[in-house]
Structure formats: structure tokens, C-alpha cells
Structure 1
Amino acid sequence: MKSFGSTRRSFAPWNDPTSKPFISFRNVTKRFGDFTAVDDLSLDIYHREFFALLGASGCGKSTLLRMLAGFEQPTSGEIILDGQSLAGTPPYRRPVNMMFQSYALFPHMTVEKNIAFGLRQDGMPKPDIAARVAQMLKLVKMEKFAGRKPHQLSGGQRQRVALARSLAKQPKVLLLDEPLGALDKKLREETQFELMDLQQDLGLTFVVVTHDQEEAMTMADRIAVMSQGRVAQVATPAEIYEAPNSRFVADFIGDVNIFDGKVSSVENHVVQIETDIGFTVRMHSNETPAVGAQAGCIVRPEKLRVSRAAPADASANAVQGELWDIAYLGDMTVYHAKLKNGAMVKASSLNAVRAVENPLGYDEPIWVSFDEDAGMVLKD
């Protein structure tokens, strides 16, 4: 199997034919009146997997999570957890817990009492509750704040309390619905890694719903990209980004340049496309579209090079244009190049040094180029 990106960890039960899914959605449909929120969806999630449901608002991801939690019932189909069907099982009897974006903490209770609430409801003995709460406070590094109330905490601290409360009952699966949406960017990025480390340490299965692509790419072992109640692709973050299975997924995940045109030749797994914007693209591909067929290829901005001179490598794909927009983002610079026919191409360059002599400027004539293995030919 071709490898994409860096190895996150040696964990890939979905590639092991002997592994059994921990959670299975089997032909699940959910309708609200005439509206179909989830449409005949089948999906497997494995034990100890950090799994992300990613999609735009209204794609069905939160409905799927709520059905797993028991807050909604499927119109048809079956949900299986650890070998047992969840049909007819109320939320409080399911071995799952859910953490909401709003955190839903009790404002009149201290941190300690918020974490203990579910345990008291279950009738756990007081000494055991005290021990479990202490364990959870230590886990999320909130021991010093046990006596405070939610309004006395920062957003990040409230998030930790909600997480501790969700984990206190030791669920088999933790469900997270947009868990970091209320945090600022820097704290959100820090918390993403904390959640990953916590999930690894606890050995639990995490299922997170998010519309934030970067969040899903950072945290998840696999991502299910959803659209209109269906799964468009399930794969690792690197596979989703580098080898999307459709135009929709390619366009949805990250920034991408899509060059459409007509196939002029196919030879030794190199497809040549005469693009609609006036230049020829040669691309390595396992796909073998017919000569004369319409096709497209995708190239991510970071795979493109922007230069004043034509590329020295004659085999490189290259087209002339002028710099239309330049955005300096600190770690990288983003270029928008306007080609001679008016089409716009996006490229990005890592700022590896602090200062650049004679930097590229607005309206400057430039070349945009990329290698034959920089992108892929689209299947559809």
C-alpha cells in the first residue's frame, strides 16, 4: 500500500482482516419528517480509535453522534457497540458518555461536585466517588480548582472539567460534539494534543464531531468526510489529504488547485491533460482514463513553485502568469497567480529563513511549476 505523510503511530486495525469493529453503523437512516439527515449509512469504528466525523453544517454528523448516544433513534438500520445492538437501549444504559460544545456544567456546583454528579446518580458509594473525582481532577490537572464554580474558571478550564465529568463514569466510548469550538485558537491547538495524549493513556475509543478540518486532521486516526447524510470517504488524515477519492473531498479538505481538461495521452502511468486554462499537465497516475476523455487533476498549493525564471527541469509542468495577491502569514507566504487567460492559481511557500533578498512583488511576471508526482488525477 502506498504511504502518505508521516506515520502517526503503529495503529491500523482497519487494515487487519481479523479485527472486528467496536462500533458499527449498518445501513442507518434517520429522517425528520421529509428531511433525511442520515441516508443508508454504513460505517465501522475500531476499539481505541480516535475517529472524526467531519463535514459542513447539516451533513448529518451530529445526528449520527446523537443516535450513538441514544438521544435519537434510527428510522431504519442498526447500531452495534461491542457486539451488542443498541436498539431499545436508553441513553443512561449505554456505555458511552457525551461531551457537548457548551460543556453543560451546573453553574451552582463546584468543579468537584460537577464531576461527581453522574457518579452520585448511579449510587456509587461516597468513598469511591471521592477517589474517582480525585483521579479525574489529577487526570485533567485541575486539583487546585476543585472548590471553584464554573463562572470562576477560564474557557479552557471549563473544558477540562467537562472532560473529567464525561470520563468519570469510565465509558467505553467518549463522544465529543464540537468540543473545542469555544476556545481561542492557541488554546484550541494545545488542547487538541492534550486530548490525543489523554485518549492514548486511557485506551478509550473517542468519536469527535467537528467542522474544523485542521482539528480533525490533527487529532484523528481516521476521518469520515460526510456530505448530505452519507460518507464521502473514510481514511487516515494523510490519505484524505493526499489521495482524496472524489472532487468533493479534494475541494473540501484544505486548499487545492483543480485543473480540468481533456486527456491527450496515457503512457507508462503518465496521463497528459490539455487543460481548459491553456497549458499541458503531465501527471503520474494509477488511473488510466481514455484518451479524449474529460478529466481533472488536483495539486495542493504547497506542491507548486513560484519563480521569476522558467523551471530548469524541462519535464516539470509550468505555466506563466503574474502575481496578483501575496499574503505573508509568518510561517509561510501564500501567492495568488493570475494566468494569461485570467484563471487564478494558488501556491504557498514555507518561510524557512527570516529574511529574503529581492522578494517577489505584486504584478511581477512569474512562472508557476510543479512536478509530475505533485498531485493526482481525479476519479470523477
Structure 2
Amino acid sequence: MKSLGSIRRSFAPWTDPSAKPYISFRNVTKKFGTFVAVDDLSLDIYHREFFALLGASGCGKSTLLRMLAGFEQPTSGEIILDGVNMAGTPPYRRPVNMMFQSYALFPHMTVEKNIAFGLKQDGLPKNEIAERVAQMLKLVKLEKFAARKPHQLSGGQRQRVALARSIAKRPKVLLLDEPLGALDKKLREETQFELMDLQQDLGLTFVVVTHDQEEAMTMADRIAVMAAGKVSQVATPAEIYEAPNSRFVADFIGDVNIFDGLASPADGGTLDIAVTEGFTIRTPIGTSDVRGASRGFAIRPEKIRVSREAPMNAGVNSAKGEMWDIAYLGDMTVYIVKLKNGQTVKASMLNAQRSVENPLGYDEDVWISFDGDAGVLLKD
């Protein structure tokens, strides 16, 4: 069975036509004065899904999350949660809880009391509160820190306290607004996997807002890439990366090389894109009505080979250039090659061995090459 990238779990209700969404945004618009933060947006999220809203600052992702939480009301459209229209429902009556980037812990309360706060507000019996708090402390591995106050904890520990407090009330949906932004890189990477495991253990629906592409790619079952209040693409991380539906998504997610040229049908159900003199891209195509059209071809750096020798059939899915720059990153080496037309191409190669014989160097004449199906044709 072929797949675009590795599959973390078989969970994929969005592929089942009979599956009902757990959360639905139906033609939702949110305006602040004349500014349109969310623009006629429709989106479905499924029960037990780890869903990421990804985009640059100002794209509308946090506004969308706040509307789901009830902190903002849509200007128009509907938000449906578990079959119920949330219109007019205040935040405290919604079956959701929100974890903020700042964590918002009470500094004068212990870890235990921070977790218990919301349960006390709901009027739960003391024995039930104690039992629930004990469960949460065990879940986030903070049993030994129950009597400490927030200032006595590390950033990662405070993050876990905030998470425990958010899920102690057993919401149907947990909303996370840039939850790992305050952590250092190494701790952030470790916590991403902890969150994934926790979400599956709890069986909750997680909706996370982030501007960090790697964070979204690591944690989410599906990602909605947003721009200017709209959703550009909704897909699994592998589909977003390997099969972006537009130039914007291809350029936004990870590193990418984009070649533009005039397209014409070739033999065997392929398409030729004339990038420049002596450089043609030949790739599979689903339609033949593209003669003379300008098309873009996006390919990731790791799909490109760099060598001193010209490949067979030189000039087709290959081009000659000059080694412009080299960056050794430990696990991989990044090469920047400047083509004759002035375009720079980024290629990355895994450093599978400790030493390399006769390594490529600056200012050398080199060839880039790739397989015709290693990239994707762009629609715009």
C-alpha cells in the first residue's frame, strides 16, 4: 500500500462519507469594524481528532478558536458542537476548555489547588475533587509537585499544570492557543509527543492554534492552513507537505523550490514544462488541455540530487549550475545551487555516513536532478 508519508494512526473519519463532524463552522464570518478577521469560513472537525489551525499572525486562527470558546461571537454563520448550535451560549456553559499560551496559573495557589479551582467553581463534592485532582497529577506526572507553587516549577512543569487544570473538568473539546510557545526548543519537542499520547489516552478532541509548522506537522491528524481569514487547504500533514493545493501552501509549509515555465503535453501521459533553455521538467499529468499555459512545479529540497556528473538525458528533470553555498547541519547538508538563469535551488542530503570522500565544494560546476514524480504541479 502506497501512502504520502508515514501514517501515525489509522484514525481518519473524514474519509468516511457517513461520519458526522463533531465541530462544524458553517459560513462563519467575523468582523472587527471594517476589518474581516474570518471570511465566510466553513470547516469540519471530528470527534477524537487532533486538529491544528496553522497560519501566520493575523490570519484569523486565534479568532476562530475564540469564537469556538465563546469569547467572541460570529458576525454571521453558525458554529455547531456535537449537534448543538453554540449561538448565544456563554463560555462557561460550553463543553470546551481553553489552555492559553501564558498558562494563567494562580501564583498564590499550589499545583493541587490550581487544578482543583475549576472543579470547586462547579460545586463538585470534596471527595470527587480530590479523586479527580489525583488522577490529573498522575496523568501529567506531577504527583511529587502537588504542594509547590508555580514559581517553583520549570516552564515545562507549569505547562503540564495548565494542561491538567484544563482537562480536569473533562471537556468535550480542549482548545490550545500556542500551548508550547513559552518552552525552549528541546522541551517543546518532547512535550509535543506527550500531548499526542495524552490526547489519545483521554479520547478528547484537541484543537490547537499555532504558527509553528513543525509543531502542527508533528502533533495534528489534520491541519487547516489559513490565510487572510480563509482556509487554503485542509489535509493530513503528509498531504499538506507532499501535495499542496496551491503556491501559497507549498511555499508556507517547509522549504520548497518552485520552477515556472510554459507547459505542453508530451508522450506517455506526461507534461513538459520549459523552465529555461536546456532545462525541461517532465512530469505525469492528469489533463492534456494545458498547451502554452504557464505552470508551476514545486519540489522539496530532499527530493533533489546534486552531483558533479551530468545525469542521463541531461536537461530533462536536471539542470547545470554553480555551487553557491553549503551549510552543514549535522544530520543533513544543505546545498544552494545557482542555475544559469539566476534562480537558486535548495537541495538537502542526509549525512548517513560520518565521512565523505571528495565532498562537493564552493564554486564548483554541478548538476541538480530529480524524478519527474518527486514534485507536484501547482494549480495557481
Q: Give TM-score, length-normalised by structure 2.
A: 0.98
Hey, what does 1:304 align to over in structure 2?
A: 304
CA deviation after TM superposition for structure 1 residue 177, in Å: 0.3
Q: Quick check: 2:265–2:288 contact (8 Å CA) kept in 1?
A: no
CA deviation after TM superposition for structure 1 residue 11, in Å: 0.8
Structure 2 distance, partners of 1:346, 1:200, is: 37
Structure 2 distance, partners of 1:14, 1:250, is: 22
Structure 1 distance, partners of 2:239, 2:5, is: 8
Report the CA distance shift for 1:44/1:2 in structure 2 as closer, same or farther (over 3 A): farther
Structure 2 distance, partners of 1:23, 1:190, is: 29
Q: Quick check: 2:278–2:315 contact (8 Å CA) kept in 1?
A: no
Deviation per CA, 1:110-160: give whole Å up to 9, x if none.
Answer: 100000000011111111111100000000000000011111100000000
Report the CA distance shift for 1:288/1:157 in structure 2 as closer, same or farther (over 3 A): farther
Q: Quick check: 2:272–2:280 contact (8 Å CA) kept in 1?
A: yes
Structure 2 distance, partners of 1:220, 1:125, is: 36
Query: Per the alignment, in what secondary structure is the counterpart of residue 129 of structure 1?
Result: helix
Name the amino acid aligned to 1:58: G
Query: Per the alignment, in what secondary structure is the counterpart of residue 368 of structure 1?
Result: strand
Q: 1:164 aligned to 2:196?
A: no
Hey, what does 2:64 align to over in structure 1?
A: 64
Hey, what does 2:344 align to over in structure 1?
A: 344
Q: 1:132 aligned to 2:132?
A: yes
Hey, what does 2:154 align to over in structure 1?
A: 154
Q: 1:223 aligned to 2:220?
A: no
CA deviation after TM superposition for structure 1 residue 289, in Å: 4.6
Query: Per the alignment, in what secondary structure is the counterpart of residue 259 of structure 1?
Result: strand
Structure 2 distance, partners of 1:177, 1:287, is: 42
CA deviation after TM superposition for structure 1 residue 2, in Å: 7.0
Q: Quick check: 1:285–1:376 contact (8 Å CA) kept in 2?
A: no
Hey, what does 1:205 align to over in structure 2?
A: 205
Hey, what does 1:368 align to over in structure 2?
A: 368
Moved more, 306-315 or 150-159: 306-315
Name the amino acid aligned to 2:103: Y
Name the amino acid aligned to 2:151: H
Deviation per CA, 1:53-72: give whole Å up to 9, x if none.
Answer: 00000000000000000000
Moved more, 109-118 or 303-312: 303-312
Q: 1:174 aligned to 2:180?
A: no
CA deviation after TM superposition for structure 1 residue 8, in Å: 1.6
Deviation per CA, 1:303-334: give whole Å up to 9, x if none.
Answer: 00001111246695111111111111111111
Provide structure 1 residue ranges, at least 5 long, that are not aligned to the other structure.
Answer: none
Structure 1 distance, partners of 2:142, 2:130, is: 15
Q: Quick check: 1:176–1:208 contact (8 Å CA) kept in 2?
A: yes
Q: Quick check: 1:176–1:206 contact (8 Å CA) kept in 2?
A: yes
Query: Per the alignment, in what secondary structure is the counterpart of residue 151 of structure 2?
Result: helix
Structure 2 distance, partners of 1:37, 1:266, is: 44
Q: Quick check: 2:111–2:148 contact (8 Å CA) kept in 1?
A: yes
Query: Per the alignment, in what secondary structure is the counterpart of residue 136 of structure 2?
Result: helix
Moved more, 32-41 or 289-298: 289-298
Name the amino acid aligned to 1:224: A
Provide structure 2 residue ranges, at least 5 long, that are not aligned to the other structure.
Answer: none
Moved over 6 A (4+): none
Q: 1:8 aligned to 2:12?
A: no
Structure 1 distance, partners of 2:156, 2:359, is: 40
Name the amino acid aligned to 1:218: T
Report the CA distance shift for 1:100/1:294 in structure 2 as closer, same or farther (over 3 A): same
Q: Quick check: 1:172–1:205 contact (8 Å CA) kept in 2?
A: yes
CA deviation after TM superposition for structure 1 residue 266, in Å: 3.7
Identity of aligned residues (%): 80
Structure 1 distance, partners of 2:263, 2:179, is: 45
Q: Quick check: 2:112–2:147 contact (8 Å CA) kept in 1?
A: yes
Hey, what does 2:106 align to over in structure 1?
A: 106
Q: Quick check: 2:240–2:249 contact (8 Å CA) kept in 1?
A: yes
Structure 1 distance, partners of 2:7, 2:313, is: 31
Query: Per the alignment, in what secondary structure is the counterpart of residue 160 of structure 1?
Result: helix
Moved more, 360-369 or 266-275: 266-275
